[in-house]
Amino acid sequence: MKGEDLAELLELDQVPDLAPRYNIAPTQDVMVLRATRPGARMLSSVKWGLVPFWARDPTIGRQLFNARCETVHTKKAFRWALRQRRCLVPADGFYEWKKVKTDRLPHHFGLKNQRPFAMAGLWERWQSSDGRRLATCTLLTTDANPLVGQIHDRMPVILDRDGQRIWMDHTVQDHATLNQLYVPFPSAQMEMWPVDRHVSSPLKDGPECRAPMGQMTLL
Contacts of 195 (CB under 8 A, 6+ apart): 95, 106, 107, 108, 209, 210, 211, 212, 213
Amino acid at 119: M
CA distances from 33 to 40, 60, 68 (A): 10, 23, 20
Percentage above 90 pLDDT, the chain: 85
Percentage above 70 pLDDT, the chain: 97
pLDDT in tens, 5-22: 999 999 998 899 999 999
> Within 10 Å of residue 153's Cβ, how many Cβ atoms?
10
> Within 10 Å of residue 177's Cβ, how many Cβ atoms?
11
* Predicted confidence band of residue 143 (pLDDT cuts 50, 70, 90): very high
CATH superfamily of 3-93+114-142+156-186: SOS response associated peptidase-like (3.90.1680.10)
pLDDT for 54 beyond 60: yes
> What is the rounded average pLDDT for all residues in the chain?
93
* Predicted confidence band of residue 35 (pLDDT cuts 50, 70, 90): confident
pLDDT for 216 beyond 60: no
> Is the Cβ–Cβ distance between 170 and 81 less than 8 Å?
no
Domain layout of the chain by residue ranges: 3-93+114-142+156-186
